[in-house]
């Protein structure tokens, strides 16, 4: 997503990362009990994943996370006025780029004089799933995180 943010920055598209919580807490990254701990986890996540976008940290009780749907890896695209124009329950850079290209093109169409009216679309997108890479990343949280995930999801 860093590359996507950089690619669209010249279009004045901002990109934020909202750190909510550990989806799979373990010994190394336990369930959060203080804002100090939450900021520490966010910094470590930034460093581990190389996140270059601005990171905002949600409240300890997850108010922002709940307001935006509570999924562990969502993406939203909002207009400058705050109107949601894209919502995905999982982040996939191909899907996000597709949406950004569409909406930037729509702005060009409007500038050229086309009269456009909004409508809603629901579609099913697909993302790559590398189970081995997922478990390697999960293991960074601790063996308990891996065991609990395997027990819950197989």
- Give the pLDDT score at 44: 96
- Give the pLDDT score at 136: 95
Q: Is 75 helix (H, G, I), strand (E, B) or coil?
A: strand
Question: Domain containing 115 — which CATH number?
Answer: 3.40.30
Question: What tens digit of pLDDT does each residue of 109-123 get?
Answer: 999 999 999 999 999
Helix runs in the chain, H state only: 2-8, 35-49, 63-67, 93-111, 131-139, 143-153
Tell me: pLDDT of 17 over 80. yes
- Calculate mean pLDDT across residues 15-30: 94
Q: Count how many domains the chain has.
A: 1
Per the structure, the complete domain to which residue 54 belongs is given by 2-153
Per the document, the length of the chain is 154
Angle at 40 (CA atoms; ends 22, 57), nearest 5 degrees: 65
- Name the maximum alpha-carbon separation found in the chain: 58
The structure's pTM equals 0.89
Residue 110 CB contacts under 8 Å (≥ 6 apart), including other chains? 116
Tell me: pLDDT of 154 over 80. no
Q: In angstroms, what CA-CA distances link 35 with 39, 41, 47?
A: 6, 10, 18
């Amino acid at each position: 997503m860093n590359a996507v943010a950089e690619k669209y920055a010249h279009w004045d598209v901002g990109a934020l990362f909202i750190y909510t919580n550990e989806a799979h807490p373990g010994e190394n990254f336990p369930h959060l009990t203080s804002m100090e701990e939450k900021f520490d986890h966010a910094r470590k996540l930034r460093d581990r994943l190389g996140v270059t976008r601005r990171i905002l940290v949600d409240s300890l009780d997850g108010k922002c996370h709940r307001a935006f749907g509570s999924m562990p890896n969502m993406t939203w695209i909002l207009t400058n006025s705050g109107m949601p124009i894209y919502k995905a329950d999982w982040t996939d850079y191909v899907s996000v780029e597709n949406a950004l290209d569409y909406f930037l093109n729509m702005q060009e169409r409007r500038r050229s004089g086309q009269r456009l009216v909004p409508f809603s679309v629901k579609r099913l997108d697909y993302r790559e799933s590398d189970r081995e890479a997922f478990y390697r990343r999960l293991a960074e949280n601790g063996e308990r995180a891996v065991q609990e995930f395997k027990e819950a999801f197989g």
